Amino acid sequence: MASAAITLAAEAPKLSSANTGFMLIASALVLIMTPGLAFFYGGMVRVKSTLNMLMMSFISIGIVTILWVLYGFSLAFGTNNSLIGWDTDWFGLHKVGLTELWPGYTIPIFVFMVFQMMFAIITPALISGALADRVKFSAWSLFVALWLTVVYVPVAHWVWGADGWAFKLGVIDFAGGTAVHINAGAGALGVILVIGKRVGFKKDPMRPHSLPLVMLGAGLLWFGWFGFNAGSWLGNDDGVGALMFVNTQVATAAAMLAWLAYEKIRHGAFTTLGAASGAVAGLVAITPSGGAVSPIGAIAVGAIAGVACAAAVGLKFKFGYDDSLDVVGVHMVGGIIGSLLIGFFATGKGQSAATGVFYGDHSFTQLWKQFAGVGAVLAYSLIASAVLAFLLDKTIGMRVTEDEEVGGIDQAEHAETAYDFSGAGGGIAGSAASVLAATESKKVDA
């Protein structure tokens, strides 16, 4: 017995400075994705909504950070229940030791907690793109807090918690295809079905006001996504994190090219918005599958997602729901595709960002497990999000007034505008304005 105890002690994981440092960097990379998302969305809206779009992402950083420390982490990753976690030692992190390791790994609980915090931050922020131009900032802020608690935390536990039912079933979600992207996309659909369309939807032009800003945001997302995906193996002792890094790049490139090809064939042009959207579609699709497929499989996943998501974004016009910035078409559809294609292309390891290793090959057995996970998350998020939006709409109201929406939500909700055009004229225009102002001043004095 004594020798067995010594053997077990020798085999127990020890804190790895290398893995800990790597995971802290990965956490910072995931955080930068939320400002990247803000720029991506901010460039896609009209000028009068730019700041509101930026703020809808940034406020998520503040709200989710506090709630995650207070109770979110405990409920998402606590044990002893298949539907929701519970570990009172983790409430407020008040009993977590500085060097206490995440079970089975070589990084501290604090590091795992903050890495998962960044996932929790960006997920509700993704929803904001579907609601552009028309939601009260106060209502959105309350929605983020409620949605994190009622939707994100339980779903994260199902998929990544050691006792979560989807995890125990064997559903593969390496870094968030179900918990992040399907969750956010279905949630967005639930909310927009409740709050309705923008004023002028399908009538007024609603083109992006700054495509360079969109490309900047897409670039930051692409950059940060390496931490999002490769970091989800919580180290790189066996090369899976490196494989995920490679597959992230490969699938994203394939999806961008596929989206552009579809766009050229269908609409006759290669657009910058298409390149940015295609890249994001590839990032979304490889998120659940990248640790379980080969690089060739990643090319297939990316190419399929690029075409499918490009086709899906037009469905809002056919079915009449106003998904302002294509959250449903890119994140929900891309997440579904990436999750289900595991059943066709999986070649080895690939469980989750949280615990354990699942060895699975492409098979119908794995495919039905993926269907179970996808279907449950989609249905729960859609219904729960719609209920939350309905309750908020009937109490404090979700939408700004029609006049505020038409006049500009930036000015109405934030008393600011993204761009100051007062000095943009210069030269003759500026001089004429100065002369006119001086003349009016003299008339008043007289």
Answer yes or no: is pLDDT of 281 > 50: yes
The amino acid at residue 274 is G
Predicted local confidence at residue 239, as pLDDT: 86
Instruction: Report whether 174 contacts 351 (CB < 8 A).
Output: yes
The amino acid at residue 223 is F
Least confident range of 154-168, 192-206, 360-374, 385-399:
360-374
Predicted local confidence at residue 6, as pLDDT: 43
Half-sphere exposure of 5 (CA within 13 A, CB side): 2
Cα 208 to Cα 45, 294, 317: the distances in Å are 5, 36, 17
Instruction: Report whether 334 contacts 281 (CB < 8 A).
Output: yes
Cα–Cα dist 101/332, whole Å? 34
**Mean pLDDT value of segment 317-346:** 94
Query: Which residues are CB-contacts of 121 (< 8 A; sequence separation ≥ 6)?
Result: 31, 34, 60, 61, 64, 65, 68
Predicted local confidence at residue 446, as pLDDT: 42
H helix or E strand, kind and range, residue 83: none
pLDDT band at 445 (very low <50, low <70, confident <90, very high): very low
Least confident range of 240-249, 263-272, 308-317, 415-424:
415-424
The amino acid at residue 371 is F
Predicted local confidence at residue 425, as pLDDT: 52
Q: Which residue has the tokens 């590839």?
A: 282
Q: pTM for the whole thing?
A: 0.89
**Mean pLDDT value of segment 316-320:** 90
pLDDT band at 88 (very low <50, low <70, confident <90, very high): confident
pLDDT band at 424 (very low <50, low <70, confident <90, very high): low
Predicted local confidence at residue 338, as pLDDT: 96
SS3 163: coil
pLDDT tens sequence across 39-69: 999 999 999 999 999 999 999 999 999 999 9
Mean pLDDT of the chain: 89
pLDDT band at 134 (very low <50, low <70, confident <90, very high): very high
DSSP E strands in 94-244: the ranges are none
Query: Which residues are CB-contacts of 114 (< 8 A; sequence separation ≥ 6)?
Result: 24, 27
**Mean pLDDT value of segment 359-380:** 84
**Mean pLDDT value of segment 250-262:** 98
DSSP E strands in 119-266: the ranges are none
Instruction: Report whether 386 contacts 191 (CB < 8 A).
Output: yes
The DSSP secondary structure of 354-407, one letter per residue, reads: SS---B--S-HHHHHHHHHHHHHHHHHHHHHHHHHHHHHHHHT-SBPPHHHHHH
DSSP code for 99:
T
**Mean pLDDT value of segment 95-107:** 91
**Mean pLDDT value of segment 371-379:** 97
CB atoms within 10 A of CB 189: 22
pLDDT band at 202 (very low <50, low <70, confident <90, very high): confident
Cα–Cα dist 283/302, whole Å? 8
Least confident range of 229-238, 264-273, 436-445:
436-445
CB atoms within 10 A of CB 368: 12
